[in-house]
Structure 1
């Protein structure tokens, strides 16, 4: 269960890295993120940043170094980090059911992450309104709008909104470049900045520095063995950014945590018996080690 209010925390990474039998995934990297800051991890598409983002929120174990989130150390206390940090934008991990409305999706997430909550927040209340405006801006969609009726940008913003509703202290947002239109990328960065203004520490990844707005600090995170393949660009990412996170699996990276309300997975197909979340996380790491991101 996540905390009951937004409480900004810092992130400190010291020589954090992940390697598997297939090779290096990310790092070693050292950096800090201030409480309530929005930071862009910048690297080409074969540098393991998706796995790094999962590490920062306690969903994937590093093979070396440490990460401290609000004074809580990874890998020693990953469960505690999961209580204050969440993620968005990861295929197969936080997919939204296209048939559900925005309100249904939000309240499903709340019921999964906070099952003992005495009363769910009202849609017109301050909390939900703040989350809506942070994610969507001044004209958010109505509560009865199905996810499938949103634009590509709107669906990306909806994933952020659903991450916000349970009041995390940290959100890692994966692959801003999945939005092919640079204007959409810039709009999503603005959504992330509005979320950080609520008091949330935001870390996201991109290869397109041209869409990053002022006020977002950039941390260049190219893997040392991959720097000769630097694909950081100043325009929208190309088609080679497409990938599937289900091609490989490597048990070394598995975070063997039972599925629970702290794992923000909302789709009904997941509850119906789809692939467990941990398989997707270590599959992603194995693929990134295989230079397939």
Structure 2
């Protein structure tokens, strides 16, 4: 893989509001390249919407952010090019019908189409295949996934993977594009304490390579820069408008108020779907569903 160059993540009074209220608001952060950032909060607190907004997949409605020098919401497309998105339900999921090897080849193929320079696509087929295999091998090593340990090796079905193995596969696929920012949703979902520790150790190793990591979780580790999201009020309105600030040290904290949902679109170009960046209302139902699930 190419040498990674992490993306700094900054935000000031960052928020997203839709027809049903705030998904999140008042978010502030100043994280250096190669940081480990955790978005911590309960289900329904807007965690996924914040992740999608910081990776250029949802358009914010308040304040601004900057990822890798690209300002949001003005340069969402540029942010998507440097931010690799792990599985998000309904947006960018592993294909359960594929084998692990097929999923990796598909990821490499998509990267060649969307992320590789034109000159790379003009190389002989055998050379392109060898380059793709080398990138896959390097990504698997970085993600700590040894295909030989799987029940059927690379022919193991994605649906048969254990949860932690799925996380490692997702990380490997994301790393194929040598991103500046790696973002994962629901990192600790269905993981035991031991598996959770392994997952965070994996992300620490990715961050140590220089790649900035952003992970949604229910409980953040002590060494992460933490953005905390708050559940919505019983009446569905946003909670108290407390500003959230997370500085570039492990003890910094943030609080993001959450509403019932967002009318902002989800733009997943370069992932598995594509929605026009200029249409603020298209995909509103999907965005509302994501805000409610986050």
Question: Into which bin does the TM-score normalised by the smaller protein fall?
Answer: 0.7 to 0.9
- Asked if structure 1 preserves the Cα contact closer than 8 Å seen for 2:17 and 2:261, the reply is no
User: What SS does the aligned partner of 1:26 have?
Assistant: strand
Deviation of the 1:188 alpha carbon = 1.8
Task: Return the offset for 1:138.
Answer: 6.7
8 Å contact from structure 1 (residues 8, 200) kept in 2: yes
| Residue in 2 that maps onto 1:206 | 217
Corresponding residue to 1:136 among 137, 144, 154: 144
CA distance in 2, matches of 1:112, 1:21: 35
Q: Any residues of structure 2 matched to 1:214-225 within 5 Å, and which?
A: 215-222=223-230, 225=238
Q: Normalization by structure 2: what TM-score?
A: 0.74
Equivalent of residue 283 in structure 1, options 282, 285, 288 = 285
Instruction: Say which of 267, 270, 273 aligns to 1:263.
Output: 270
Return the offset for 1:249. Answer: 9.1
1:25 to 4, 23, 26: 23
CA 1:20–1:30: 2 relative to 1, 3 Å? same
Distance in structure 2 (CA, Å) of the matches to 1:89 and 1:187: 18
Is residue 169 of structure 2 the alignment partner of residue 171 of structure 1? no
Deviations 1:14-49 (A, max 9, x none): 110011110110121101221011111112222211
Structure 2: give runs of 5+ residues left out of the alignment: 122-127, 233-237, 241-259
Per the alignment, residue 87 of structure 1 pairs with: 85
Conservation of the 8 A alpha-carbon contact between 2:18 and 2:261: no
Structure possessing the higher radius of gyration over alpha carbons: 2
Aligned-partner Cα distance in 1 for 2:196–2:36: 15
- On the 8 A contact 2:18/2:264 being kept in 1, the answer is yes
CA drift at 1:121: 5.2
The farther-off stretch of 65-74 and 87-96 is 87-96
* 102-111 or 30-39, larger mean C-alpha shift: 102-111
Q: Write out per-residue CA displacement over residues 209-229 of structure 1, whole angstroms, 9 at most, x where no aligned residue.
A: 4xx3x54333333368447xx
Q: Which residue of 2 aligns with 1:98?
A: 96
SS of 1:83 mapped into structure 2: helix
CA deviation after TM superposition for structure 1 residue 110, in Å: 2.3
Q: Where in structure 2 are the equivalents of 1:55-74 lying within 5 Å?
A: 55-74=53-72
Q: Give the SS at the match of 1:178.
A: coil
* Residues 92 and 280, structure 1, Cα contact 8 Å, conserved in 2: no
TM-score (norm 1): 0.74
